[in-house]
Structure 1
Amino acid sequence: MSEFDAIRLQLSVAAALQAIATVRAEREAPATHAARRHLGEIHGATRLRKRLERERRIG
């Protein structure tokens, strides 16, 4: 591997790590975190409702 290729690889890895850090920071932001938690609660409630409806139809 040439020195130029090694530098390009280092820069690529650094850019990928920066993108990961940015996404993690966005996910941990209070508004985003609360919204994700709320959507999870809605999803869970919807799955429960559908399961109960299926069980009611079956038995």
Structure 2
Amino acid sequence: MRNKRIQLSVIIPIYNEGILITELIERLEKSVSSLGIPYELIFIDDHSNDDTDLIFNKK
């Protein structure tokens, strides 16, 4: 299978979003995948002091 060239990059800054990160990822994937083009989601964590990184890394 050929790698498809990414046509859309979405950069999402996150900070202390542990409670919302799962829903955020699900909604973004649903919305962006409906476009029908290759994409990537890039999350930037600005040193959250909650459990954002632990929850995010489980996804």
In terms of fraction of residues, the more strand-rich structure is 2
Same fold (TM over 0.5): no
Q: Give the structure with the higher percent helix.
A: 1
TM-score (norm 1): 0.32
Asked which structure has the greater CA Rg, the reply is 1
